Amino acid sequence: MSDRNSDFGAFITGFVIGGLVGAAVSLLLAPQSGEETRTMIREKGIEIKEQVEHTAEEARMKAEQLASDAKLKAEELQRRGQVVLEEQKSRIEKAVEAGKKATQKKKSETAGDEPA
């Protein structure tokens, strides 16, 4: 799961850097006046900012969903563990009770075999 998150983070980083580099190169090589170039830079900056915000929101929602899924799985494992614990506790109690009965039976047999 951490590999998927790091891959996603690397993709976002590459996407943002690629967008910035592409925008800068296209603006620098375009035959326009300084005012037009500044306007285009401003517009591209706003556009990239909106894309980053959108991508960050998607990443946040995905992280929340993963956290929710992990919490549900942890709760299920806890319930399963509790069931196994109760089963083992019951088995141990039965074994202890059987041991007590066997000890009492052995004592009574031993006491009955001794001459009076």
pLDDT at 112: 67
Per-residue pLDDT at 115 exceeds 60: no
Model confidence at 3, in pLDDT bands (50, 70, 90)?
low
Per-residue pLDDT at 20 exceeds 90: no
Model confidence at 85, in pLDDT bands (50, 70, 90)?
very high
Global pTM reads 0.47
Helix or strand holding residue 1 (H, E): none
Per-residue pLDDT at 32 exceeds 80: no
Measure the CA–CA gap between 58 and 97, rounded to whole angstroms.
58
Residue 60 and residue 5 in contact, taking contact as beta carbons nearer than 8 Å = no
